[in-house]
Amino acid sequence: MWMVLTLSFAAVIAALVTALMLMRRRQHLLCQQIEQSSLYDGLTGLPNRRLFDQLAGQAITQARREDWRLLVMFIDLDGFKQINDTVGHEAGDDVLRQTASRLRAVLRHEEHLARHGGDEFVALLLHVKDLRSAPGIARRLIDALEHPIQVRNKRVRVGASIGISRFPEEGETIEALVRRADRAMRQVKQAGGGTFRLSSGAVKRLEEGAA
């Protein structure tokens, strides 16, 4: 009798311990999911603005210590509003997902691409030794969107307008760099879009050999 009670009690304890471990594991997974949702864009899977600011802050600290230059590229899609208006928002979401994938494929693994909001993306390029590389990288990002995107049995096109800022010449903080790159992008938009511009307007200077 006592042996049966002892075995039953041990089984209950084992079941409670197992249940407690499962509960803690689920809580841990839930915390991870909450953290993931707070740092990544739910539509594209890219870092969101919060995570991008954190990554950029770390990169700027390291760049100061190791005398790097950084590039920030502010990317706005051309023609996206028309897709939303004519094909629908679900198709627009598909376009954003495919666009994010194409842009991400252009950059190196250690470089960062984030969704800034709406149809805007921001890229952070690290270890920039020669600023003359900026136009070529911007052009590759634009060219990545050259081919039509298939959504809802339709083929649609988007382009990109890009503004570029440089650390440390044009800003010591990520906020300042993004702001100047955004301003340069808007100048591109006003001129018709589909190309890039350095925030200082010195793209020509870079192409002519500025370091």
pLDDT tens for each residue of 28-80: 444 444 455 579 999 999 999 999 999 999 999 999 999 889 999 999 999 99
Residue with tokens 């002519």: 208
Top pLDDT among 16 and 182 is at 182
Closest CA to 36 of 27, 47, 25, 44: 47
Instruction: Look at residue 127 in the predicted model and tell me its pLDDT.
Output: 85
Indicate the pLDDT class of residue 1, thresholds 50, 70 and 90: low
pLDDT digits (tens, 9 = 90+) for 107-126: 999 999 999 999 999 999 99
pLDDT digits (tens, 9 = 90+) for 156-171: 999 999 999 999 988 9
Model's pTM, two decimal places?
0.80
Give me the active site residues, please: 119
Long-range contacts of 148-151 (CB under 8 A, 24+ apart): 149/94, 149/95, 149/98, 149/99, 151/83, 151/87, 151/91, 151/94, 151/95, 151/98
In percent, the amount of the chain with pLDDT more than 70 equals: 77
Indicate the pLDDT class of residue 132, thresholds 50, 70 and 90: confident
The C-alpha atoms of residue 83 and residue 118 are separated, in whole angstroms, by: 13
pLDDT digits (tens, 9 = 90+) for 9-29: 566 666 666 666 666 666 544
Indicate the pLDDT class of residue 201, thresholds 50, 70 and 90: low
